[in-house]
Amino acid sequence: MSGRFHETQTAAGDALTELMLETFRLNGRLLAAGDRLVAPIGLTSARWQVLGAIAMAGRGAPVAHIARDMGLTRQSVQRVVDVLAAEGLVGFAANPYHRRAKLAVLTPSGREAYDAAILRHVGWSNGLADGLLADGLSADDIADATVVMRTLLARLEAALETAPDAVSEAAAETD
């Protein structure tokens, strides 16, 4: 059997590669659409994501935790948090678990901006979902896609945590 991307790739490997490529494309489109969606309220996708991570944490979160949860570097999240703080959308609170790593918390203005972004998102995501349903997909199909992505994410995270070089070693085996 020969795979689409390489003669030794299995059918499952081909399918996964297709999913990865579509995920890259989707990510780019989601960021562009997100930027357009929240631009009227003075946000970007990156700022919206960080506000969301802080909001979801409830009582605030250290930048390192936000970065880990988002799969980003601490430095990139710190830059966004610094901009949000300069704009009065984020403040800092003492962290009871770490003396130096302050908790990023939403200010009242940050909460307003986040809530406005969520309201815009709800209408947008409902419209996209309606389009998927009209295309013949079901809510279960959408949920199944989420399960596949979460499972893949968990496998990738586990591989990176337990054997950080495993990804490059696996690639070297096929060379």
Residue closest to 84 by CA, chosen among 110, 53, 45, 102: 110
Q: What phi and psi values does residue 72 have, to the nearest 5 degrees?
A: -120, 170
In angstroms, the CA 93 to CA 41 distance is 25
In this predicted structure, what is the pLDDT of residue 175? 55
* CATH domain 11-137 topology: Arc Repressor Mutant, subunit A (1.10.10)
Q: pLDDT tens per residue, the chain (175 residues)?
A: 456 767 788 889 999 999 999 999 999 999 999 999 999 999 999 999 999 999 998 888 999 999 998 888 999 999 999 999 999 999 999 888 887 889 999 999 999 999 999 999 999 999 999 999 999 999 999 999 999 999 999 999 898 888 766 665 555 565 5
In angstroms, the CA 51 to CA 120 distance is 15
| Total-model pTM | 0.80
